[in-house]
Amino acid sequence: MVKGIAFPLTIEKGNLKVSEDADLYKGHILSWLKTENFERVMRPEYGLKDYLFESIQDISFIASSIQSGLETYIPEVNFEVEGNINDLGESEINVYWTYDDSDPAQLRFIL
């Protein structure tokens, strides 16, 4: 069992809320995805690059860079990241992840 501080930071009974196992790793993934590069002064390369004004022809480039970043900062988890462009022209990213033979979980977000 792995324990750590929950994301987002929450006070529970006067202390920081603690998560464990899948909830903890989900928090780590969300923290990385919701943090932009250079947002953390001591870890400038931590987080997701802002692709808003980038002209990238292949969504798989973005998916592979997200997977690489997640694997670097959360090595305990196995990732598979897929991306596609929906009918509205938005980039949909699916993050599939597992750890220690657990059931696969999925996070879906739009860039």
Domains of the chain, with CATH numbers? 3-110 (3.10.450.40)
**Residue listed under structure tokens 């929950």:** 6
Residue 100: the pLDDT is 84
Phi/psi region, residue 101 (left: phi>0; alpha: psi -120 to 50; beta: rest), is left
List of the chain residues with pLDDT < 70: none
Q: What percent of the chain has pLDDT over 70?
A: 100
- Render 91-103 in DSSP notation, one character per residue: EEEEEEEE-TTPP
Residue 81: the pLDDT is 95
**Which residue type occupies 19?**
S
Residue 80: the pLDDT is 95
Residue 1: the pLDDT is 81
